[in-house]
Amino acid sequence: MTTVLASPLVEPTRPALTSSRGFAPAAVLLGLFGLLVSVAGSWVPSYWGDEAASVMSAERPLPSFFRMLGNIDAVHGSYYLFLHGWIDVFGASELATRLPSALAIGLATAGTALLARMLVNTRVAVIAGLVFAVLPRVTYMGAEARSTAIATMLAVWTVVLLVPIVRARPTTPLLRLALWAAYALMVTLSAYMFLYTALLIPVHALVVALFSRRRRGALLAWAGAAVAGLLLASPVFYWGVGEREQISFLARRPAVSVLDAAVHQWFGTPALAGLAWGLIAIGVVATFVPRFRTRGRAPRAELLVVLAWVLVPSAVLLAGTQLITPMYSLRYLSICAPAAALAVAVGVAALRPRWTQVIAVLLVGALATPGYLAQRTDFAKDGAAIGGTCPTSCAPKPDPVTPWCSTKAPSRPSGHGWPCTSTPPASSG
C-alpha cells in the first residue's frame, strides 16, 4: 500500500550551539525572506488610528511624552519611547516607522525556523520559516507601526533561549544563573513591549516539564526566573489594570466565535484557514497515531508544546471575554503566529510522497497572496482619512478608534493617513 502520511522524525539531539551554528546560514536566509516580504509595499497604506497614535505620541518632546503616559497609553510607553528615538534618526514616513516591524518579522522568521530545527528537524524548520513569513497576520503586523511584531519576535526568541537551557542543562552554576537571568530579562522585555505575552508563561512551563532531564530542579529554576521576570514587569501590569477602559470598545464589537478566531486570527480567509488547519490535523495524526510512525522518534512532546502555544492563549482570552470582561482581539494573538506556522510545517512534512510537500507550501503561498496584495493598497488599513487637509468633522470609521487629525502635512500628495484633531487619542489596545 502506498504511504500517504509519515510522522516527521526528530533529529538526534546535539549540543545546542553546534546544532544552531550548522543551521545558521539557512535561518539567516529565511529571516531575510521574511524581512523582504514584510517590508515590500509597507509604505503604501495610509496610517490607521493606532499607528497615527504611535507616531504622534513618539514625536512629542520627552517631557510632554512622559506627562502623556501619566494619563493614557502607559502600557505602550516602551514601544513609543523606542519609536521616539527611531524617528529622531530615520524620520516619520510610513516606511521609516513601519521598518522596525519588518525587521522584527525578519528576526522572528529566523527564530521560528531555528526553533523548529531545535524541536524537530531541518525540513520542518525550512517549511516553518517559509509559512510564517507569508501568513496574513504576519505580513499585516510586519507593515504596521505598532508593537505586535516586536513582541512576536521577543516571544519566539524567548522560547529559542529556553529550549537549550532545559535540554542541555549548562554545566557550571554561573552559566546556569546567567542563562536563567537572560530568560527572566526576555520575559520582562516582552511584557513591556506587549502585555499579553504573559499568556505564554504556561507554554514555557510545559517546555520545562517535557524537555528537562531533571524535571524538579529545572521547574524550580524556571519558576524563580519567571517570577523574577514578571515582578520586574509588574509596573506594566499595574498600568494595564488602570487603563483597562482603553479596550472597553471591545464590548461594542460583535462577539467573536471560535470559528471566526480559527479563520481570521492568523489565516485571514476560509480557504487558507481550511488548508492550514487541515495540515495541522495531518501533523497531529501522523505524530500520535502509531500506524504512521517510522523508525525514529516522532515529535510528540514537541508538538504538544506547539499546540499549547497555538491554543492556550486564544482559549484564555476567548473564555475571559465570555466570563469576565471583553479582552479578545484578533491581533492580540499575533504572538502565537510562530507556533501556528510550526504546526502547519509538521503537517506538511508528514505528507508523502515528498513532492506533495512542495505543492502544499506553494498552495499556502498562493492562498495568502490575494490578502497580501490587498494589505499593500492605499486604503488597506482602518481609519485612513481622505483628503489632504483636516475636514471640519470626522466620520466614524469601521474600527471604533476616535478619529483625529494632526496639523502635520501628509506624507504623500494625496494626503492619506492623518485623521483629525491636534491631540492624539489613546490607542485601541
pLDDT above 70 for 415: no
**Per-residue pLDDT band at 45 (split at 50, 70, 90):** very high
pLDDT at 254: 66
Instruction: Quote the cell numbers at residue 344.
Output: 502547519
Nearest to 109 by CA among 89, 86, 129, 139: 129
* Spatial distance between the Cα atoms of 189 and 166, rounded to a whole number of angstroms: 21
Q: 263: exposed, middle or buried (C-beta count within 10 Å: 0-12, 13-18, 19+)?
A: buried
In this structure, of 4-8, 36-40, 215-219, 340-344, the range with the lowest mean pLDDT score is: 4-8
Instruction: Using a pLDDT cut of 70, give the percent of the chain over it.
Output: 81
Residue 395 has pLDDT above 50, yes or no: no
Q: Check residue 244 and give its pLDDT.
A: 59
Q: What is the pLDDT of residue 326?
A: 73
Confidence (pLDDT) at 71:
83
Is residue 58 within 8 Å of residue 80, measured between CB atoms? yes
β partners of residue 351? 5
Instruction: Output the pLDDT for position 70.
Output: 85
CA–CA gap between residue 264 and residue 136 (Å, rounded): 9
Is a pLDDT exceeding 70 seen at residue 408?
no
Say what the pLDDT of residue 252 is: 57
Average pLDDT score over residue span 379-387: 55
355-361: long-range pairs with CB below 8 Å, 24+: 357/123, 357/127, 360/275, 360/279, 361/127, 361/130, 361/131
Mean pLDDT of the chain: 84
Residues 382-392, mean pLDDT to the nearest whole number:
38
Q: Give the range among 26-35, 286-295, 298-307 with minimum mean pLDDT.
A: 286-295
- How many Cβ atoms are within 10 Å of 77's Cβ, its own excluded? 20
Q: 86 pLDDT exceeds 60? A: yes
Q: What are phi and psi of 253, to 5 degrees?
A: -90, 155
Q: How confident is the model at residue 382 (pLDDT cuts 50, 70, 90)?
A: low
Angstrom distance (rounded) from CA 343 to CA 310: 8
pLDDT of residue 248: 52
Cell (9 digits) for 155: 516571544
Confidence band of 19 (pLDDT split at 50, 70, 90): low
Kindly list the distances between the CA atom of residue 12 and the CA atoms of 292, 296, 356, in Å, as whole numbers in the listed order: 20, 9, 25
Q: Which residues contact 396 (CB under 8 A, 6 or more apart)?
A: 403
Helical axes 77-90 vs 49-58, angle rounded to 10°: 70
- What lies within 8 Å, CB to CB, of 7 at 6+ separation is 286, 287, 292, 293, 294, 298, 299, 350
- The pTM score is 0.86
pLDDT of residue 419: 39
Residue 386 predicted with pLDDT over 60: no
Q: Is the pLDDT of residue 162 over 70?
A: yes
Whether 172 shows a pLDDT value over 90: the answer reads no
Q: How many residues does the chain have?
A: 429
Quickly count: other Cβ atoms within 10 Å of residue 322's Cβ: 12
All three cell numbers of 189, joined, read 522585555
pLDDT grade for 247, boundaries at 50, 70 and 90: low
C-alpha cell recorded at residue 93: 514616513
pLDDT at 150 over 90: yes
- Asked if the peptide bond before residue 170 counts as cis, ω within 30 degrees of 0, the response is no
For residue 232, what are the CA distances in angstroms to 125, 156, 166, 183? 33, 20, 22, 12
State the average pLDDT over residues 181-191.
97
How far apart, in whole angstroms, are the C-alpha atoms of residue 415 and residue 387? 5
More reliable by pLDDT, 310 or 261: 310
The pLDDT-based confidence of 197 (bands split at 50, 70, 90) is: very high
For the chain, the farthest-separated pair of C-alpha atoms sits apart, in whole angstroms, at 73
pLDDT at site 339 = 98
Residue 246 — very low, low, confident or very high, per pLDDT cuts 50/70/90? low
